[in-house]
């Protein structure tokens, strides 16, 4: 009963439920949910291979978009109709562990021997609970880099190679700010670094925006900057319980970052559609932005962009800027597959999860070039795919792992409550309704979530 009440409360912090759309499989059919339509074909190939090796077992894949996925999943937990296996996210799994809706993979035969060392360093450890047990088998990983419209750079007289050495600091923005200022153009054709530039009538922003970042720790917004000055959201990771949103270093960095919108160099909250934000790739496609920070999972989307006449855009990728301490930084995130406690065939579900995390399946995913699989061999295949099929150098993403310039996405309990408090607080700063210093109040609210009531 308590679990049902807590799940109902969790559902209220997400978007409205849209029906369950499926249930745990029985009689040899394993129900598997994911949210990325671009990855579904690759996982169908994995399913086909799995079924050949496991006669009598069948995989039924259901795909829902991100906005519906989590509400449907939570609703299915409440109704007892959850899938056997689903694609899990680091910001979600701690709360699911607390609610006891995930099975420890260590307790199931097929997944009991998953090794941390089989995957990119530091990735598999993130999927362990406070009890030390594993609740997700790694499937892929992601970092952040900067996509750009090569034709916009050419028009501005900027050599793409110079993007590799851009620097930033919170005082004058460094060469990074100079570059996006020059790429910015107002309605009268004045660039952001020219006299007479009108920041109230911008035709094209130098930098796209992906919202305020309050619901994802600024992953595709400001995390590359805050990470490069050494700031971390929590006291420890994983399972932090004290937050650092009152740190002057964060405030100084965000004052500069959101100040780019005030200067007219980055799209404002209103310009990207407010809560119904236009994503960075669509901003670049529409010609209202020249560059944008985004995750490696969007490579496929960016490389498919076309202009109004249907001509393919010339998209390039550059690394995140070098920070004041002389290093780049990127948040390191990864997805995994989890098994629900509602599965009536947990051992069969574990066979599927073991296959999903295997070299065979992850090589299939790597050959599709949609994401970077968790296993190094799959990553290499994804790199090769992008080079041969797209003519795209993706080292801006992979060098973060190679050079050790990553930091993990915060893993904490109370994720839904944290997001519910953080999103409007960061939105208010982005809009300009609240100063950056208001995040100290948010910090107190988040810390209160972890206080033990005696």
Q: What is the pLDDT of residues 77-94, one digit of tens each?
A: 999 999 999 999 998 999
What domains are there in the chain, each with its CATH number? 2-141+334-396 (3.40.190.10), 144-331+412-448 (3.40.190.10)
CA separation for the pair 422, 57 (Å, rounded): 43
Query: Using one digit for the tens of pLDDT, what is the confidence trace for 188-218?
Result: 999 999 999 999 999 999 999 999 999 999 9
Report the half-sphere exposure of 384 (CA within 13 A, side-chain side). Answer: 11
CA separation for the pair 215, 91 (Å, rounded): 10
Tell me the two tokens of residue 276.
């119904």
CA separation for the pair 447, 94 (Å, rounded): 17
Residue positions counted in the chain: 454
CA separation for the pair 109, 241 (Å, rounded): 33
Among 283, 340, 337, which Cα is nearest to 100's?
Answer: 340
CA separation for the pair 409, 91 (Å, rounded): 8
Residue pair 13/7 in contact (Cβ under 8 Å)? The answer is no
Sequential DSSP letters for 108-163: SGGGTT--GGGSSTTTGGGGB-TTS-B--EEEEEE-EEEEEEHHHHHHHT--GGGG
- Share above pLDDT 90 across residues of the chain, in percent, rounded to a whole number: 88
Residue 17 pLDDT more than 70? Answer: no
CA separation for the pair 232, 237 (Å, rounded): 9
Over residues 429-447, mean pLDDT: 97
Chain-wide mean pLDDT for the chain?
A: 92
What does pTM read for this prediction?
0.91
Residue pair 112/23 in contact (Cβ under 8 Å)? The answer is no
Question: For the chain, how far is it from start to end, CA to CA, in angstroms?
Answer: 23
SS3 state of residue 34 = strand
Burial of 294 (0-12, 13-18, 19+ CB in 10 A): buried
Over residues 99-112, mean pLDDT: 97
Over residues 439-453, mean pLDDT: 88
Query: Using one digit for the tens of pLDDT, what is the confidence trace for 128-186?
Result: 999 999 999 999 999 999 999 999 999 999 999 999 999 999 999 999 999 999 999 99
CA separation for the pair 280, 205 (Å, rounded): 11
């Amino acid at each position: 009963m308590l679990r049902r009440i807590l799940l109902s409360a969790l559902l209220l912090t997400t978007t409205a439920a849209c029906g369950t759309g499926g249930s745990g499989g029985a009689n040899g059919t394993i129900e598997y949910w994911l949210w990325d339509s671009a990855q579904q074909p690759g996982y169908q190939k994995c399913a086909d291979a799995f079924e050949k090796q496991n006669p009598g077992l069948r995989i039924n894949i259901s795909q829902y978009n991100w906005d519906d996925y989590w509400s449907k999943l939570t609703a299915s937990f409440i109704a007892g109709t959850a899938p056997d296996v689903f694609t899990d996210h680091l910001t979600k799994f701690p709360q699911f562990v607390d609610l006891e809706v995930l099975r420890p993979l260590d307790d199931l035969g097929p997944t009991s021997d998953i090794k941390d060392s089989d995957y990119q360093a530091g990735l598999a450890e993130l999927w362990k609970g406070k009890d030390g047990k594993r609740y997700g088998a790694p499937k892929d990983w992601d970092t952040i880099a900067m996509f750009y419209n090569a034709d916009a750079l050419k028009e501005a007289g900027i050599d793409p190679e110079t993007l590799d050495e851009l620097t930033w600091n919170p005082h004058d923005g460094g060469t990074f700010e100079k570059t996006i200022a020059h790429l910015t153009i107002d309605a009268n054709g004045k660039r952001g670094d020219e006299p007479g530039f009108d920041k109230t009538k911008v035709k094209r922003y130098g930098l796209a925006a992906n919202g305020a970042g309050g619901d994802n720790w600024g992953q595709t917004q400001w995390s590359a900057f805050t990470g490069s000055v050494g700031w971390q959201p929590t006291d420890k990771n994983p399972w932090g319980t004290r937050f650092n949103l009152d740190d002057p270093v964060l405030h100084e960095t965000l004052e500069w970052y959101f100040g780019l919108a005030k200067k007219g160099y980055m799209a404002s909250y209103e310009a990207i559609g407010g809560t119904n934000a236009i994503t960075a790739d669509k901003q670049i496609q529409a010609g209202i932005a020249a560059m944008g920070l985004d995750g490696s999972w969007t490579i496929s989307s960016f490389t498919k962009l076309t202009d109004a006449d249907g001509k393919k855009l010339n998209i390039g990728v550059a690394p995140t800027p070098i920070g004041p301490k002389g290093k780049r930084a990127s948040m390191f995130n990864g997805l995994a597959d989890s098994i629900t406690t509602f599965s009536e065939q947990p051992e069969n579900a574990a066979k599927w999860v073991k296959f999903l995390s295997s070299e065979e399946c992850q090589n299939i995913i790597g050959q599709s070039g949609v994401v970077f699989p968790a296993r190094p061999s799959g990553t290499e295949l994804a790199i090769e795919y992008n080079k041969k099929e797209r003519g795209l150098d993706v080292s801006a993403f992979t060098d973060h792992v190679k050079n050790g310039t990553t930091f993990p996405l915060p893993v904490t309990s109370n994720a839904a409550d944290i997001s519910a408090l953080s999103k409007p607080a960061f939105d208010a700063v982005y809009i300009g309704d609240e100063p950056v210093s208001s995040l100290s109040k948010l910090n107190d609210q988040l810390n209160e979530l972890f206080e033990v009531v005696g």
